[in-house]
Amino acid sequence: MKLYMTPGSCSTGIHILLEELDLVFEAHLVNLMAGDHTTPEYLAINPKATIPTLVRNDGSALTEFQAIAYWLARSYPKAKLLPGDPDGDARVIELIDYVVGTLHGQGFARIFTTDKFAANAADFEAVKAQGLDIVNRAFAVVNGSLPPQGYAAGAFSIADAALFYVEFWADKTGVALPERCLAHYRLMLARPVVRRVLLEEGYRVD
């Protein structure tokens, strides 16, 4: 398989899951700043021009964090990356969708890609402030849904990989995490695979 990824991005969550499953794959770096995602070669693989993209062994490409994470969990059930019961699975998907759609898509996106939300540079600071407000309110919601300790669904699941990448962004941008989110982030940082992935992606692990 081939993972098209950008270090420190949402694709880090998928990278973690692939390593947790001990799967053999090739990592292909996509430099978003350089516009690699808009080249004809990449668009032929993923016409959405997004990351991550997972090209599977049959040559088919799968996009969107939620879809890739779900496919990995269902394809390798022995790893138990989903709780396995309807309510548990639904709660995991609920959390992932909120992380990707709200924390990432509405909050951090305004902070990282401000120009996509405002045509006038004079509005950039207001857009970033709005993004930060969305991020803080969303983390408060997630915090209320997490257990006092441990992983999001009790045992490690695909939800933890999703939540980790936005917690990582918060850490790197100086956003204070609420108590349970911070405990979750520290728990993930202590996980050997997570530490290895961060090192592979060029980040120091203290």
pLDDT at residue 32 is higher than 80: yes
Condensed to tens digits (0 to 9), the pLDDT of residues 59-97 reads 999 999 999 999 999 999 999 999 999 999 999 999 999
For 107, residues 6+ apart whose C-beta sits below 8 A from its C-beta are 131, 132, 134, 135, 138
For 100-125, what is the mean pLDDT? 96
Query: What pLDDT shows up at residue 206?
Result: 73
Identity of residue 15:
H
Q: What is the mean pLDDT of residues 175-181?
A: 98
- CATH fold group of domain 86-191: Glutathione S-transferase Yfyf (Class Pi); Chain A, domain 2 (1.20.1050)
Task: Return the closest-CA partner of residue 159 out of 94, 205, 108, 112.
Answer: 94
Question: Known catalytic residues?
Answer: 9
Superfamily of the domain at 2-78? Glutaredoxin (3.40.30.10)
Q: Which residue has the tokens 């006038």?
A: 120
Closest CA to 15 of 52, 49, 43, 42: 52
Q: What percentage of the chain exceeds 70 in pLDDT?
A: 100
* Strand 26-29, strand 2-5: pairing: parallel
Over residues 12-40, the mean pLDDT reads: 96
Instruction: Band the pLDDT of 204: cuts 50, 70, 90.
Output: confident
Residue 129 has pLDDT above 90, yes or no: yes
What mean pLDDT is predicted for residues 128-152? 97
- What residue segments make up the domains of the chain, in order of their start? 2-78, 86-191
Instruction: With cut-offs at 50, 70 and 90, classify the pLDDT of residue 22.
Output: very high
Q: Return d(Cα 134, Cα 144) in angstroms, integer.
A: 16
> Once rounded to an integer, what is the mean pLDDT over residues 23-47?
96
Mean pLDDT of 12-23: 98
